[in-house]
Amino acid sequence: MFFKRFRRAYERVAVKLFGDFASYLETHFTDVKENMKKADMKIIFKAYLSVIFLTIFMAYSVIFACLCILFYEKHGVTISTFSVPFAVANLVALLIFLAGYYYPQARVNAKKRNIEAMLPFALNHMAAIASSGVPPYVMFRLLSNYEEYKEIAGEAKKIVRRIDLFGVDLTTAISEIAKKTPSDDLREVLDGMKVTIEEGGDVRKYLQELAREKLFDYKLKRERYSSVLSTYLSLYLSLLVVVPLIFVAFLSLFAFLPGASIAGLSVEFISNIFIYLVVPLLNTVFIMFIYISQPKL
C-alpha cells in the first residue's frame, strides 16, 4: 500500500515538473509508446517519460554533489574535483535514460518468451478442452482462468473481454489479439485457429498437431541452449576472470613506481574502483545477460 502511494505521488510530481517536456517529446518515442501497450504497462506514456526525467534529475544532482564533496575533501580544488563527478553523473544519467527507454522493450521480450515457453503446454490443454466438444469461446474462457499459463491466460482474457464487453464475434476478437501479441508463434496459432473456425474445420485436430510440433521445437531449443552455455562459460572465464586478474596485477606493479598515478588519481583509488565497482558491475551485467537469453521454463 505504501509503495503504491509513493509511486503515485512520485508520478504526480514528475508530471508536474516534466509533463510539458514529455508531451513535446512524445512524437519522438513512438516505439516506446507502442512497446508499453504491448507490455500492458499500467501507466500512461506522458507519466512514464516524466518519471524517467525526474529520476535522472535527482540521481544526477545527488551523485554530482556527493562526488564533488568527496573529491574536494581528499584532493582539494583540482581538475578532477569537478571533471570526474561530472563524467560519472553524466554516465549515470545516460544509463538511467537507456534503462527507461529499453525497459518496455524488455517487458515485451519477457512476455514473448513466457508465451513461447508456455505455448506447447497450453496447446495441449486447449486440445484436451476442444476434445470435450465445447465451443472455442468456452475454451478461451477456461484457458483464461489458468494462471499457470501466465501471459497466455492474459491473452485469452483479452479475447473473452472483447466478446463479453464489446460484443465482437469470436473470430474478430481472435484477429485483434493476434495483431497485438508480441509472440509470432501465438499469432500464428491464433490466425490458424481463426481460419479453421471460419471454414468449419476440426479445431481439436488443428490444436493437437500444433501441440506436437511446438513440443518438438521446445525440446530442440533446450538442447541448443545447453551447448550455448558452454560458450558463455569460456567467455566468462576469459573476460571476467583472467582479464581482471591481469589488470590488478598490472596496477600492483605500477604502484611501485615513484609518484605513480593515472589522470591524477592514485593507483590505490583506481584499484578500489575496479575491484569493488567495475568487476561486480560486469558480473551483474553478465548474470543478467544469461538470465535474459535463457529459454524460460
Q: What is the pLDDT of residues 236-251, one digit of tens each?
A: 888 888 888 888 888 8
Distance CA 154, CA 40 (A): 10
Distance CA 69, CA 82 (A): 9
Q: Looking at the structure, do residues 100 and 31 belong to the same domain, yes or no? A: yes
Contact (CB, 8 A) for 39 and 107: yes
pLDDT exceeds cutoff 70 at 263: no
Q: Looking at the structure, do residues 94 and 117 belong to the same domain, yes or no? A: no
Q: Looking at the structure, do residues 104 and 14 belong to the same domain, yes or no? A: yes
pLDDT exceeds cutoff 60 at 15: yes
Q: Looking at the structure, do residues 27 and 94 belong to the same domain, yes or no? A: yes
The contacts of residue 203 (CB under 8 Å, 6+ apart) are 130, 136, 139, 193, 196, 197
Distance CA 189, CA 181 (A): 11
pLDDT exceeds cutoff 90 at 49: yes
The band of 133, judged by pLDDT with boundaries at 50, 70 and 90, is confident
Query: Which pTM value belongs to this model?
Result: 0.69
pLDDT exceeds cutoff 60 at 297: no
Q: Looking at the structure, do residues 176 and 240 belong to the same domain, yes or no? A: no
Contact (CB, 8 A) for 219 and 150: no
Most confident of 70-79, 253-262, 283-292: 283-292
Q: Looking at the structure, do residues 89 and 176 belong to the same domain, yes or no? A: no
Last residue of a domain, one of 215, 235, 254: 215
- The mean per-residue pLDDT over the stretch 217-231 comes to 80
DSSP β-bridge partners for residue 262: 265
Q: Of 238 and 137, which is predicted with more confidence?
A: 137
Last residue of a domain, one of 60, 77, 109: 109
Q: Looking at the structure, do residues 33 and 124 belong to the same domain, yes or no? A: no
Q: Looking at the structure, do residues 229 and 281 belong to the same domain, yes or no? A: yes
Tally the domains of the chain.
Answer: 3
Contact (CB, 8 A) for 146 and 153: yes
Q: Give the CA distances from residue 151 to residues 9, 45, 49, 178, 277, in Å, rounded to whole numbers and listed in that order.
A: 29, 22, 25, 13, 36
- The mean per-residue pLDDT over the stretch 261-281 comes to 79
pLDDT value of residue 110: 87
Q: Looking at the structure, do residues 209 and 133 belong to the same domain, yes or no? A: yes
Q: How far apart are the first and last CA of the chain?
A: 31
The band of 181, judged by pLDDT with boundaries at 50, 70 and 90, is very high
The contacts of residue 260 (CB under 8 Å, 6+ apart) are 254, 266, 267
**For 136-150, 176-190, 212-226, which range has the lowest pLDDT when averaged over its residues?**
212-226
- The mean per-residue pLDDT over the stretch 98-104 comes to 94
- The mean per-residue pLDDT over the stretch 79-95 comes to 85
Residue 150: CA atoms inside 13 Å, Cβ hemisphere, count?
13
Q: Looking at the structure, do residues 105 and 117 belong to the same domain, yes or no? A: no
Radius of gyration of the chain (CA): 26
Domain residues for the domain of 272 are 221-293
pLDDT exceeds cutoff 60 at 170: yes
The band of 58, judged by pLDDT with boundaries at 50, 70 and 90, is very high
The band of 154, judged by pLDDT with boundaries at 50, 70 and 90, is very high
Reported as type and span, the H/E element at residue 276 is none
Last residue of a domain, one of 159, 180, 215: 215
Q: Looking at the structure, do residues 10 and 88 belong to the same domain, yes or no? A: yes
Q: Looking at the structure, do residues 167 and 189 belong to the same domain, yes or no? A: yes
pLDDT value of residue 1: 66
